[in-house]
C-alpha cells in the first residue's frame, strides 16, 4: 500500500506540473518518467502511476465537468492547482477504477492524505467534501433517518425487428441509467413515470408492470442529506427519437440493443431492475 501511496503522490505531482505548464498532453509522458526516476526509484510497479496519469488525461473533460457540477461556487480555474489535480486523481479512481481494485473509501482517503501533504490547511476538508458528495450521489452511504423524496422511472423498450431495444440516459458521472423524476402533488407513481419520461426524453410510454424500487442517498445544498426512493416500471413506447431535456445531471441518451446491455457502464442497483425487465420480456 505504501508503494501505491507513493505512486499516487508522483501522479499528482506530474499532473500539477502538466497543469502549471498549460496542460500539454504531449509532454506529460516525459514529465512522469522524470518524476518516477527522481521520486520513485524503489517502486515495484511503475505501471500504476502511468495508469493513473493516463486515465486522468483521457477522462479529463468528464472529470472536470463533474467538479464544476459538485462545486459550482468554485469555478475550475479558481480552485488551487494542487486541489484541482488531487480532485482529478481522486475522481478518476472513484469513478473509473474497478471497485475490487480500488475501493471507494480508499480512493477518497488517499486523495485527502495527498491534499494534506501538498495543499493548504483547508485542502483536506475541501477534497473530502467534493469526493464525499460524489460518493453519496453514487449511493455509497447506509440509509439513516433523513427526509425522503419519492420518484418514478421506467425501463422503456420498443420492438426492434425480432428483438427489443431499451432507452437509457447518460449522467455526468459516466454511467448509463434509467430515466426518472420526482412525483408532483397528488400524483401516483405510474402517472409520475409517464409524465417524467415525456418531459425528460420526449416519448409517450405505456406502463406494463411494476419492477421494484431502489433507494439512495443524495445531498441537497439547502436540505442536506435526502433519502430518494425510486419506483421503476416496465414500459413500452412506439416513439423512435429520444429528445433529452437539458439538465445539469444528464448529458446524453440513446437506445441500446438487449445484447449490448451487459457491456455498458451501469449503476449496480440498476442492473437487477433491468434484468427483471428482460426476464419478463423474454416470455413474450
pLDDT at residue number 219: 65
The strand pair at 206-220 and 163-171 is best described as: unpaired
Helix, strand, or coil here: 228? strand
Question: What's the rounded Cα separation, in Å, for the pair 152 and 142?
Answer: 21
One domain, residues 111 and 78: yes
**Please, which pLDDT band fits residue 102 given cuts at 50, 70 and 90?**
confident
**Please, which pLDDT band fits residue 31 given cuts at 50, 70 and 90?**
very high
One domain, residues 115 and 208: no
Residue 153 sits in a domain of what CATH number? 3.90.79.10
Residue 50 sits in a domain of what CATH number? 1.10.940.10
Given 99, 117, 137, the domain boundary residue is 137
- Domain presence at residue 143: no
One domain, residues 122 and 160: no
- CA-based nearest residue to 279, from 231, 6, 271, 9: 271
One domain, residues 78 and 169: no
Question: What's the rounded Cα separation, in Å, for the pair 142 and 150?
Answer: 18
One domain, residues 170 and 236: yes
pLDDT tens digit sequence for 46-73:
889 999 999 999 999 999 988 888 877 7
**Please, which pLDDT band fits residue 222 given cuts at 50, 70 and 90?**
low
One domain, residues 177 and 122: no
- Domain presence at residue 266: yes
pLDDT at 138 exceeding the cut of 80: no
The strand pair at 224-236 and 148-160 is best described as: parallel
Given 137, 158, 178, the domain boundary residue is 137
One domain, residues 155 and 88: no
pLDDT at residue number 2: 62
Provide the whole-model pTM.
0.55
pLDDT at residue number 143: 34
pLDDT at residue number 1: 46
One domain, residues 6 and 133: yes
**Please, which pLDDT band fits residue 98 given cuts at 50, 70 and 90?**
confident
Look over the chain and give the mean of its residue pLDDT values, rounded to a whole number: 89
One domain, residues 98 and 60: yes
Question: What's the rounded Cα separation, in Å, for the pair 119 and 273?
Answer: 43
If one counts the domains in the chain, the total is 2
pLDDT at 139 exceeding the cut of 80: no
**Arithmetic mean of pLDDT, 8-15:** 95
Domain limits at 105?
Answer: 2-137
One domain, residues 165 and 125: no
pLDDT at 144 exceeding the cut of 50: no
| Percentage helix, strand, coil for the chain under 3-state DSSP, each rounded to 5 | 50, 25, 30
Amino acid at each position: 500500500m505504501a508503494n501505491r501511496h507513493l505512486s499516487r503522490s508522483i501522479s499528482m505531482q506530474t499532473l500539477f506540473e502538466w497543469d502549471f505548464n498549460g496542460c500539454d498532453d504531449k509532454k506529460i509522458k516525459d514529465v512522469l518518467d522524470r518524476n518516477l526516476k527522481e521520486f520513485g526509484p524503489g517502486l515495484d510497479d511503475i505501471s500504476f502511476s502511468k495508469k493513473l496519469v493516463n486515465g486522468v488525461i483521457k477522462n479529463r473533460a468528464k472529470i472536470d465537468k463533474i467538479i464544476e457540477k459538485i462545486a459550482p461556487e468554485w469555478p475550475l480555474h479558481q480552485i488551487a492547482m494542487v486541489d484541482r489535480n488531487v480532485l482529478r486523481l481522486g475522481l478518476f479512481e472513484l469513478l473509473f477504477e474497478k471497485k475490487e481494485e480500488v475501493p471507494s473509501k480508499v480512493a477518497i482517503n488517499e486523495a485527502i492524505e495527498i491534499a494534506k501533504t501538498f495543499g493548504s490547511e483547508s485542502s483536506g476538508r475541501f477534497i473530502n467534501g467534493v469526493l464525499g458528495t460524489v460518493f453519496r450521489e453514487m449511493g455509497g452511504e447506509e440509509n439513516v433517518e433523513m427526509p425522503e423524496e419519492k420518484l418514478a422511472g421506467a425501463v422503456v423498450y420498443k420492438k426492434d425487428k425480432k428483438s427489443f431495444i431499451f432507452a437509457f440516459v447518460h449522467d455526468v458521472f459516466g454511467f448509463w441509467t434509467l430515466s426518472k423524476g420526482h412525483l408532483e402533488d397528488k400524483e401516483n407513481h405510474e402517472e409520475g413515470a409517464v409524465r417524467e419520461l415525456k418531459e425528460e426524453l420526449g416519448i409517450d410510454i405505456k406502463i406494463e408492470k411494476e419492477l421494484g424500487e431502489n433507494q439512495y442517498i443524495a445531498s441537497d445544498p439547502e436540505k442536506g442529506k435526502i433519502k430518494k426512493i425510486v419506483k421503476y416500471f416496465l414500459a413500452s413506447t412506439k416513439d423512435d427519437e429520444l429528445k433529452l431535456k437539458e439538465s445539469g445531471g444528464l448529458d446524453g441518451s440513446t437506445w441500446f440493443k438487449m445484447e449490448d446491455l451487459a457491456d455498458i457502464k451501469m449503476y449496480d442497483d440498476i442492473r437487477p431492475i433491468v434484468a427483471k425487465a428482460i426476464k419478463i420480456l423474454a416470455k413474450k
